[in-house]
Amino acid sequence: MILSSEKHEFLIQAAKVAAESAYAPYSNYFVGAAILTESGEIFTGCNIENRVLGGSICAERTAIVKAVSEGHRKFQAIAVHCKNNEGWPCGVCRQFIAEFGLETQIIVESDNKKLVVKKISELLPEKPVGVTT
Ligand code: THU
């Protein structure tokens, strides 16, 4: 599905709002994400850190967990915003996004304020061992 640049911009703005809720007292990286479902709904998420190593969750996965737990499994796009600097989804989040489809678009605002859009299949091009589809 082709998304307009207005929609990309809208999703980035939603990710920026979500980043305001980030709980990041350990890293001080404040991240927000906004995911657009196939049916047009938007779910947002932020990173939530924990003093117990390994207990933290990234913004993208927060948004996806919210969407999937509300019955959504197909996504058009996910915008990611880090308040500190340009940042793309980490490896675990790439895998998490790819689980639900390889066509999902990732939208990030570059440090020079331009929106960059890539498919998750570009960010995670090779299949892991055991994945046949
Ligand atoms: N973080 C995200 O929320 N998304 C990513 O894709 C990469 C990293 C968060 C996790 C941690 O709270 C902080 O950014 C620093 O890694």
Pocket, ligand 1, Cβ cutoff 6 A? 24, 27, 29, 31, 47, 49, 56, 58-60, 89-90, 93
Would residue 133 count as lying in a domain? no
54: left (phi over 0), alpha (psi -120 to 50) or beta: left
User: What is the percent of the chain with per-residue pLDDT over 90, rounded to a whole number?
Assistant: 91
Mean pLDDT of 74-86: 96
Residue 1: pLDDT over 90:
no
Would residue 77 count as lying in a domain? yes
Would residue 62 count as lying in a domain? yes
User: What rounded mean pLDDT belongs to the chain?
Assistant: 96
- Per the CB < 8 A criterion, the answer to whether 53 and 29 are in contact is no
Would residue 47 count as lying in a domain? yes
Number of domains in the chain: 1
60 catalytic per annotation: yes
CA 56 to centroid of ligand 1, rounded, Å: 9
pLDDT at 22: 98
Would residue 57 count as lying in a domain? yes
Would residue 82 count as lying in a domain? yes
Mean pLDDT of 106-132: 93
**What CATH number has the domain bearing residue 117?**
3.40.140.10
Domain that holds residue 73: 5-123
128 confidence band (pLDDT: 50, 70, 90): confident
Mean pLDDT of 15-31: 98
Would residue 129 count as lying in a domain? no
Q: What is this structure's pTM?
A: 0.96
- Per the CB < 8 A criterion, the answer to whether 118 and 110 are in contact is no
By DSSP bridging, strand 75-82 and strand 42-46 are: unpaired
